[in-house]
Amino acid sequence: MKNFFYLFIGFLLILLWTSTGRGEEYITRELHVGHMAPALKLLSPDGKEETDLSKLKLPVILFFGSYTSPLFLHQSGKMEKMYQNYKDIAEFRIVYIREGHPSNSSRSVKYAVEKGIIDPRNYLERCTVARLFIEEGKITVPVILDNMDNTVDDNYDAWPARVFIIGENGLIALLSDKGPKGFESGLKKAGKWLEEYKKAGKEPEPVR
């Protein structure tokens, strides 16, 4: 009975850990198309501009990711092209979250090691790495940074990379799967949604 008790407690601790989204696995939270989008109020890397999701009037396309998530970095050109094509009908934000594969992780990418990019220990370091991403990707899409508690990342269950569309009514119209394949597929679906929106002049049906 005593051994069973300890096994039960251990099982509960594992559940608690995975529910925080802090592990390396892609844990799926209970976010669904048609749900109200979690609150989002973040600053740009220079601290001069604030984005409050509740105050944006147009549909909002959110790209979550980081410099050390390779596919996110490699897809920056597609994000930029989508922004240039549709920025007159939708709001766009890159939400910079905790690093995907920094040099001090167990699955670091080569360029993170070469450039000494660690998982930021404070907000200033996160700003610095975000600016590297902006410069290397020649990004003009507005970028906003999650706080060091990773609140928005956790609320959107976005790590390591994810695409969202938030409709004018504040409801989730699209949420991609997480990770490289999910992000790439999410970009294609977001592009299709935006093209339909542009032609019809009204929001298409949510992508389920």
In the block, tokens 């979550």 appear at: 64
CB 58 within 8 Å of CB 89: yes
List 163's β-bridge partners, or say none.
63
3-class DSSP string for 133-171: HHHHHCCCCCEEECCCCCHHHHHHCCCCCEEEEECCCCE
pLDDT tens track for 19-60:
333 233 334 458 999 999 999 999 999 999 999 999 999 999
* More confident position, 110 or 20: 110
pLDDT tens track for 60-75:
999 999 999 999 999 9
CB count in 10 Å sphere of residue 22: 12
The encoded tokens of residue 69 equal: 């998530």
**pLDDT band at residue 4, thresholds of 50, 70 and 90?**
very low
Instruction: Write down all domains in the chain, each with its CATH number in brackets.
Output: 33-200 (3.40.30.10)
CB 109 within 8 Å of CB 72: no
Backbone φ and ψ of 92, nearest 5° = -125, 140
Taking the C-alpha atoms of residue 149 and residue 207, their distance in angstroms, rounded to an integer, is 30
Q: What's this model's pTM, rounded to 2 decimal places?
A: 0.85
* More confident position, 126 or 13: 126
Pick the closest to residue 145 from 13, 27, 46, 1 (CA basis): 46
